[in-house]
Amino acid sequence: MLKLLRQIAVTGIASEPPPRPDPSLRVVEQRLKSEVLALFSGSLSIRHVDAGSCNGCELEIHMLTTPHYNLEGLGIRFVASPRHADLLLVTGPVSRNMETALRRTYDAVPDPKLVVAVGDCGCTGGVFGESYASCGRVSNVIPGGVERNIGRHGCDEVAAQCASIALEVGRLRDVYDDHAGLQDRFLTCGHLAPELARQLGVVGLAARASGLALDARVAPGFEPYDRLDVAMKTHGAGDVAARVTVRFEEIFESLRLLRAIVEGIPLGEVATPFNTVGGRGRGLGRVEGWRGEVVIALEAEGGLIRRCHAHDPSWQNWPVLEHAVIGNIVPDFPLINKSFNLSYSGHDL
Ligand code: SF4
């Protein structure tokens, strides 16, 4: 006993001092309170399911229930029965042993309901991925729709971030415009003539910087691009300077599109039922990625994939590099290479 008392006297108070009051948290608190009031008639009941986590996420969730965060004061509480819940909070990758239990819990939550996957494991499968023991991310077990609702506040945040990125990129472009020496090095370097680009079937930014009007957002122009009036950026010079110019212009156009998309997000259900299609069928998906168009062709039968062919813009554009470097000095190779900025693994897929 004496030994223990001595130890206490020598050690003193070892815990950290409590955090200072942060006035900005008051704003977050008020916003949460008004959102819970508006969306859930004043109270949000959460049923938590640990589908196979390492318990790290649970530690964080447990901290949320301490007086410091005053969740109950905001109308948010954890409930024992899924029948009393508005929202299912799922942690961890879904282990095979928990797959049925998670489905049953989901079915027991009354409609309309929300599902929130927590952490890297819940959202992507994390380091556990998919295996004989793990179904991976939560949406593999409760599929359909998007993983979470961005909400009005999330849309405003995206729009604000777009505005601040546009400012930063604008400053970067001013630096580029003020350096005549830099532009001089880029001009005529790594030239790709429009005719050669056409023959090699070049896509994306590299094609547009060589004067080819190719952009899957414009033609065929699937939703939502068909109503966003996408301004295709092209340049006829086909050199490094042209690719830099097109990239700058495309960044500003992409930020404009992003803002228009978040401003026009429709209200409605976040999740939709996932229906498997019987019989045999084929489909073709085509999107304009930041390096060019990504194409996936798929053949399915009885709800299973029979054949699949994925085509990446980098695979399409790599052969062009050996033509673009001809006649240039060796130190310009990295510059030309990076102006196409292709992926070695074709990871745009
Ligand atoms: S995300 Fe996965 S690894 Fe990280 S704390 Fe949660 S369960 Fe553990």
Q: Which residue in this structure is represented by tokens 């899957």?
A: 216
The 3-state DSSP composition of the chain as helix, strand, coil percent (nearest 5) reads: 45, 15, 40
Determine the distance from the C-alpha atom of residue 90 to the mean position of all C-alpha atoms in its chain, rounded to a whole number: 19
The answer on pLDDT for 334 being more than 90 is yes
Q: Ligand 1: distance of its center to the CA of 60 in Å?
A: 10
292 lines ligand 1 (CB under 6 A): no
Instruction: State the architecture of 30-149 in CATH terms.
Output: 3-Layer(aba) Sandwich (3.40)
d(CA 115, CA 149): 10
Atom of ligand 1 nearest to the CA of 56: 5
Model pLDDT, residue 3? 86
CB atoms within 10 A of CB 109: 20
* pLDDT 10s digits, 82-132: 999 999 999 999 999 999 999 999 999 998 888 899 999 998 888 888 889
Structure token pair of residue 277: 């299609």
* pLDDT 10s digits, 25-83: 788 888 888 887 787 788 889 999 999 999 999 999 998 888 888 888 888 899 999 99
Q: Ligand 1: distance of its center to the CA of 93 in Å?
A: 8
The CA-based diameter of the chain, rounded to the nearest angstrom, is 90
159 lines ligand 1 (CB under 6 A): no
Q: What average pLDDT does the chain have?
A: 88
* pLDDT 10s digits, 190-199: 999 999 999 9
pTM, two decimal places: 0.59
54 lines ligand 1 (CB under 6 A): yes
The answer on pLDDT for 144 being more than 80 is no
Model pLDDT, residue 9? 86
Confidence of residue 146 (pLDDT cuts 50, 70, 90): low
Closest alpha carbon to 51 in 128, 112, 144, 111: 128
Model pLDDT, residue 151? 78
The answer on pLDDT for 147 being more than 60 is no
- Which of 9-12's residues contact partners 24+ apart within 8 Å by CB, and which partners? none
Cis omega (within 30 of 0) on the bond before 112?
yes
Q: What are the structural domain ranges in the chain?
A: 30-149, 152-266+328-338
Q: Which of 121, 123, 138 to mutate to test the pocket of ligand 1 (most atoms within 8 A of CB)?
A: 121
d(CA 334, CA 27): 49
The answer on pLDDT for 229 being more than 70 is yes
134 lines ligand 1 (CB under 6 A): no
The answer on pLDDT for 281 being more than 60 is yes
Model pLDDT, residue 335? 93
135 lines ligand 1 (CB under 6 A): no
